[in-house]
Structure 1
Amino acid sequence: MYDNYTFSLCGKNRLYCSSRLSAKCPARLVVDENKHIIKGTFDHSHPPPKYHQVSKKLQFLPTDKGQIPMFGSHSFFYASSKLVYCSRKLRGKCPAKLMLDKEGYIVGGHFEHNHAPPEFFKTANGCYVKIERLIVLNTPRGEVFLFRGYTFSYYTGKKNLRCSRRISGKCHARVKLDDDGFIIGGYFDHSHPPPIYHRTADGLFIKRG
């Protein structure tokens, strides 16, 4: 680290800003054999990273998908026994990550997220379900509701939906909504692969196959 910025070594005497690729930062340093800086480009294209000194362990939240690692209000997943990434690393390109020691204590990482934390609802059996909304697709046959890649339709009122293949595929998947339309429970295992939709030029979604 130099002047609150982090660098990575390239060769024996050249260091480049850690955000060289992600932020196209031009900052770099040239050092002598004693690691003294002899020259460099010191202007960065981004603010310095924020680091926190912590000595805590991850918490684990029991959900319908198993135990989810949590730190603060955000959820994570294990990349290895000593590294966890934000659950939205791939879908939301979130840079947050945590480094752990062999006993599971957090010893470093990047703590800034690029999104709001997820919300969970505690069910009667003590299991937590992530609060999510349905996605509405406009099709030639009317509206269908999409959740985790699968389509649903209303069943017994506006708070209960069943998988669109509950009859043809004998699928038992279902979702339950609260008064505001958030998903607060259900059975999410399907007996079939998800359908594939193609969006037309006029904005309609047509099911393939």
Structure 2
Amino acid sequence: LARNMTGYRNLLKIASHSQTDGYYYKPRVDHEYLAAHAEGIIASTGCLGAEVPQLLYQGKEREAYERLGWYVDVFGKENFFIELQEHSIPELVTVNKTLVPWAEKFGLNLVATNDVHYVREQDGGPHDVLLCVQTGVTIDQPNRMRMTDGSYFLKSRAQMEATFRPFIDLPASAFEHSLRIAEMCEIDLEDPTYHLPDLPIPEGYTYETYLRHLTEEGLKRLYGARAT
């Protein structure tokens, strides 16, 4: 998250770099690039698929602890949070019970979040249909990719507290820090003008004809003689 305009510009650089220089099946950046552009950014340990929780999931506790320390050094204690989620995934319970005491060791704040994929609880069904479209399967196909339960919506504080209560005892501040994080963000995106990149095009082309030229060249490169 961008804490200020410096952070916003760094996020733009990170996002662009992940697409233009780090793309491998999906956008990526390495640790060195992230560290060089960490100023003004608020970060957290993330969901179960993020680096620190994933290392814990794999049983690499020492490596996870060291990597957490690296993130704290890069972003600073004030800008880095221990994120906790609960979605009927047994491994999440284990990961959370490790991360909570680590927060105290590193002097970090906890933030309880929900892995929100849709806004309203009743949107779970339509989201499941879209997931089938994305993965190319039918909704009645067995063993297909699906969410673990119907909890991936934007919950109230009371719902969040009820979600965690059976699994772990969290301080009230864990449910307040999402608001605190929002209040930490001081950026101004009110400028109504466009900020498009200045793309130089070769002489003799317009933007439209050069785009068509690049498209045709890409078609030939991918399909060779079959491109007609």
State the TM bucket, normalised to the shorter chain. Answer: under 0.3
Higher relative contact order (CA 8 A, sep 6+): 2
TM-score (norm 1): 0.23
TM-score (norm 2): 0.21
The structure with more strand, counted as a fraction of residues = 1
